Amino acid sequence: MSFQAPRIPVSILTGFLGSGKTTLLNAILADKQEERIAVIVNEFGDAGIDQQLVIGAQEEIFELNNGCLCCKIRTDLINTLYALIQAVEEQGHEPFDRVLIETSGLAEPAPVVQSFLVDPELSEIYHLDTVVTVIDSYHFLKQVQEHEEVRKQVAFADKFVLNKAGLVNSERRAKVKGMLASFNPAAPVHVTSDGEVSAAELLNQFTFDIEEKLRIEPGFMDHSHHHHHDHEISSIVLQSQKAVDIKEFEKWFGDLVDNKGEQMYRYKGILNVDGFNKRIIFQGIHMLFAGKAGAPWTADEERKSQFVIIGKGLDQDLFQREFEACLTE
């Protein structure tokens, strides 16, 4: 494939059934009229209901309506992303500026995100921007107790849109926000009643791309801290100003992923490696992870390692001890 243009940003809209994803999608399309946006809709089941609800959009909508993403099959999505480029290169369609993927309410975000990790050529064309999880303020506290999909959608979020806020009182809103923070404390919350969030607050944030995010907001990982909650999903933050022995770290983290990868929903961070003048940036989902050299440390910069792991049944004390064993004296 000869596509040579700058990488196209991709944002993922996820959230449980009825949370208001399509309302938010329409709001973004209306707000970003200067951009050509390709929309990929995955609807669980055979009826393409969501396509009927996406109004006022001139963009071509590629709909996946066979539930494959819910079955953790990524082939259809990957083929669709390639088909979008082929439509531009081979069929004369106008180029597009970004992609929005709206997942099914019953989908887990992991297979969608993994598509950009398992296919190197795809990641040269597309740039994963932000995972936005839409929350139903009225039903969330019940949904999060009853549905594992909801807990995973929350765990994968870079941004929350707390929708239908007008249907609940301030006390309930605070309880919902507290629950979200207990799952995923680093993800900011945007409160709305009918999806009226500015697209600028959600797009071009590159919250999934750590290197890009560090350029935009150098201290963004400083806002993370450790949380537990009653459903066994928690976030663990490990950090140290001591340098990391990369050989010890690679051995430890490789064993960790082999043994606990299914419990580790998402993780990302930066490492201060002993004897290396650039930060190492790494991220992963379950058992897929990758690392690369980032920007050099500057002379006036505090060199420290920081990374966050969000998952199920994680032992903070054990992780901390094993991480500290990888540090230099």
Domain ranges of the chain: 8-208, 214-324
The answer for residues whose C-beta is within 8 angstroms of residue 142's C-beta and 6 or more apart is none
Task: Show the tokens assigned to 34.
Answer: 């200067």
At the fourth CATH level, which superfamily is domain 214-324? CobW-like, C-terminal domain (3.30.1220.10)
* Contact present, 3 and 85 (Cβ < 8 Å): yes
Which mean pLDDT values do the consecutive 10-residue runs of the chain (329 residues) have? 72 90 81 77 46 44 34 57 81 80 82 80 88 94 90 90 92 94 87 82 74 49 45 78 93 91 84 92 80 86 86 86 91
Buried b (16+ CB within 10 A) or exposed e, 245-257: bbebbeebbeebb
pTM for the whole thing? 0.72
Give the fold, CATH level 3, of 8-208: Rossmann fold (3.40.50)
Question: From CA 180, how far away is CA 33, in angstroms rounded?
Answer: 31
pLDDT of residue 264: 87
